[in-house]
Structure 1
Amino acid sequence: MIHVILGTKAQLIKMAPIMIELQEKQLEWRFIFTGQHQQTIDSLRSDFGLKNPDVTLHQHKDITGMFSMLLWMLKLISMGIFFKSWVWGKNTGPDDIVLVHGDTFSTLIGALIARLAGMKVAHVESGLRSFNLRNPFPEELTRLLVFRLSHIYFAPGDWAEKNLEKFSGQSVNTQQNTLLDSVKYSLSQPASDDLSIPNYKYALVSLHRFENIFDSERFIELIHWLEVAAKKIPLLFILHPPTVKQLEKFQLTERLGNNPNIELRPRYTHRDFLHLLTHAELLISDGGSNQEECSYLGKPCLLARNHTERQEGLTTNVRLCGNMQQLIRCIDNIEKLQSPDQFSQDSPSAYIVSWLARYVAAVDPESCQP
């Protein structure tokens, strides 16, 4: 049996192509949802044509605070220990394989409870490193822990695979990230009828990383950056739930809302976000997935970070901007960051599912009989 466990919007976006392949190849699989994110998850599932979760471990609000995160983690670990048959199903065994993705708390919890249940763990998007435990935090630490817990690494390229050499699991090089398949799929679909795309030049903004929004001094500094950047180009600021919470905490929501060059927008589905991105002049973000999406699209991307775990776009259209001067300088010279799109015909998701099909056939030949 194949199990897919995830809990965030980004994980669902990047695992959706694998789940679609599993459905199309009619492999038996279960979808376990940790509930770390709730907003837009159902619409995302609908956009990708995915089934409902077989099990939902948490059904309340998004996990946005540190205390709620701790309680949620303890709850999920307890469920994995004391309600094993409910979480994984009754006919589990040591050859069952559990797919976890990326570097979130849902990744770590999924890998941990899978190991406690005696199953094999396969880590998708494995091998990414910043080589700095404090930046990004806690993602870099999470990755190292998940490497230790995993049996199989699906590494999106040679560099990522090399980073796994000292770990004991089996490495499988998928050459590209499954996000490539997600971007191609989402852009093949029309935008929502009610999506408002400005008819003027604008920059898209997305900030949500732990080290940026939960460090009060850093967060207030970043908001100042945006106010200065807005004098250069109008901004569409896409608000993630933790970002909204921090803006309200520091009484910044009204200040930004009163800025005529900054428009606050809710978080969108992947499809609508990409349609906004394709029409934007550039993206200001702290997200690794956004960096990768921009590398595929050839869209200028200014990362409000000092380090990144990804290599995509760093020599072409992506720039690390650790201070405001770097950010403004890049905006002033944005035409130099325009580059051709980097779409490939390869499908890393199909490659992963083909590998899983061979694995299932080897450990359970009867499951492949018509």
Structure 2
Amino acid sequence: MKILLCFGTRPEAIKMAPIIKELDRQHISYKVCVTAQHREMLDQVLDFFDIIPDYDLSLMKTGQSLNSLSASILNSIDPVLDDYKPDVVLVQGDTTTAAMVALGSFHKNIKIGHIEAGLRTYNKKSPFPEEANRQLISKLADFHFAPTSDSKLNLENEMVDTKDILITGNTVVDALKWAIKKIDNQESEEIIRVKDLIIEEKKIDPCNRTQKREFWNWFKKYL
């Protein structure tokens, strides 16, 4: 099996990093494609997690519209898919990159796995355009990796087959644990506070805004 992981923003890269590490550990064939929807912020995360993209589309342009970006992603992903011929394409979350790569893969009849599937507000304008993006991806995806039981229930209510849904938790927690190990020889008030949140037996709610804010404020200091 050949897997292609596609992402373009800092949050996507952080949440995809643990999957890349696990694929390495299990010696599963994969390649990484970045759209660089967010160039500088993406590069910071790639460097921190020691990820070297196999394909870098470098599509970020100052002031570009969502339509322009969407068209660029669709046009640029074709040569990557034709070159690598993946069996599965993994996308994460609800970005324009995730939605357009999923659509391009669907057009090529390539199976799609959606990381962090099933999050919903059921208001297509909130958040915009993310809510529409993640609903679109769910219509196209073959494998749905839901972070919570509520996310799984959302998908089941939308007639996604239960056998195609797997509750995985949120990979941002795995990224946080990996990051803590990397900087384990460093100590600061921020690091100690975040470490206190990470208890092996304790589940961290990916929808808890306080915990998410704590994580981002801490993590950005070390990118």
Q: Same fold (TM over 0.5)?
A: yes
| Alignment RMSD (CA, Å) | 3.1
Q: Give the AA of the match of 2:42.
A: I
AA matched with 1:34: T
Identity of aligned residues (%): 29
The aligned residue for residue 312 of structure 1 is 207
Aligned to 1:180: 173
Task: Tell me the distance in 2 between the aligned counterparts of 1:140 and 1:276.
Answer: 36
Question: After the TM superposition, which residues 69-88 of structure 1 pair with which residues of structure 2 at under 5 Å, given as runs?
Answer: 69-80=66-77, 84=78, 86-88=79-81
Q: Is the 8 A contact 1:295 1:312 kept in 2?
A: no
Letter aligned with residue 32 of structure 1: C
Aligned pairs for 1:75-224 within 5 A? 75-80=72-77, 84=78, 86-90=79-83, 92=85, 96-165=87-156, 166-168=158-160, 170-174=164-168, 176-190=169-183
1:279: how far off?
A: 7.0
Pairs aligned (count): 203
Q: Does the Cα contact within 8 Å between 2:8 and 2:34 map onto a contact in 1? A: yes
Q: Is the 8 A contact 2:146 2:152 kept in 1?
A: yes
1:1-370 mapped onto 2 (5 Å cutoff): 1-50=2-51, 52-58=52-58, 62-63=60-61, 65=63, 67-80=64-77, 84=78, 86-90=79-83, 92=85, 96-165=87-156, 166-168=158-160, 170-174=164-168, 176-190=169-183, 277-278=190-191, 296=197, 312-313=207-208
Larger fraction in helix: 2
Per-residue CA distance 1:178-202 (angstroms, 9 max, x = gap): 1110111112233999xxx9xxxxx
Q: Which has the higher contact order (CA 8 A, sep 6+)?
A: 2
Judge conservation of contact 1:180–1:296 (CA < 8 Å) in 2.
no
Report the CA distance shift for 1:69/1:141 in structure 2 as closer, same or farther (over 3 A).
Answer: closer
In the TM superposition, what is the alpha-carbon distance from 1:14 to its structure 2 partner?
A: 0.5
Q: Distance in 2 between matches of 1:90 and 1:63?
A: 25
* C-alpha distance in structure 2 between counterparts of 1:161 and 1:294, whole Å: 28
Q: Is the 8 A contact 2:9 2:41 kept in 1?
A: no
Q: Distance in 2 between matches of 1:91 and 1:7?
A: 18
Asked whether the equivalents of residues 108 and 145 of structure 1 are also in contact (C-alpha less than 8 Å), the reply is: yes
CA distance in 1, matches of 2:117, 2:45: 23
State the distance in 1 between where 2:196 and 2:27 align.
32
CA drift at 1:69: 3.5
- CA shift for structure 1 position 171: 0.9
The aligned amino acid for 1:313 is N
Per-residue CA deviations over 1:314-333 (Å, capped at 9, x if unaligned) read 7xx57xxxxxxxxxxxxxxx
Deviation at 1:143, TM superposition (A): 1.0
Kindly name which structure, 1 or 2, has the bigger radius of gyration based on alpha carbons: 1
Where do 4+ consecutive residues of structure 1 move more than 4 Å? 275-280, 293-298
TM-score (structure 1 length as normaliser)? 0.49
